[in-house]
Amino acid sequence: MSEKEEMGLERLYRLVASRQGADPGSSYTASLYARGAAKIAQKVGEEAVELAIAAALEDRDDIISESADLLYHLAVLWADAGIDPTEIYAKLAQREGQSGLAEKAARKSGEEER
């Protein structure tokens, strides 16, 4: 891939999904699938915490690096769970136009009614 080409989330997802069934000895991604859903979930949690620490420390380079790690492991988690990114995009599109504050207020009033 040339430096000018983009490595977007969609492309990353296709790449990691293509590693399903690959040899765990020759692909780190395949080794994650082989270790199972709980291990993949653990990695996502670890990377999220590392990103949160980088953000709290306001370390710009680390924020970028940890974000890349998190997106990679998130893409692996989606592929392992049989979820296509278009399903996430559909969820985001569904939420488009609704303010987060309005959604929170609707959720809270629903909780109070229960």
Ligand X SMILES: N=c1c2ncn([C@@H]3O[C@H](COP(=O)(O)OP(=O)(O)OP(=O)(O)O)[C@@H](O)[C@H]3O)c2ncn1[C@@H]1O[C@H](COP(=O)(O)O)[C@@H](O)[C@H]1O
User: Is 16 near ligand X (CB under 6 A)?
Assistant: yes
Give least dist CB 95 to ligand X, A: 27
User: Is 13 near ligand X (CB under 6 A)?
Assistant: no
Whether 15 contacts 85, CB under 8 Å: no
User: Is 10 near ligand X (CB under 6 A)?
Assistant: no
User: Is 40 near ligand X (CB under 6 A)?
Assistant: no
Between the alpha carbon of residue 75 and those of residues 16, 29, 72, 79, 105, the distances in Å are: 7, 10, 5, 6, 31
| Interface ranges with ligand X (CB under 6 A) | 15-16, 19, 27-30, 43, 69, 72
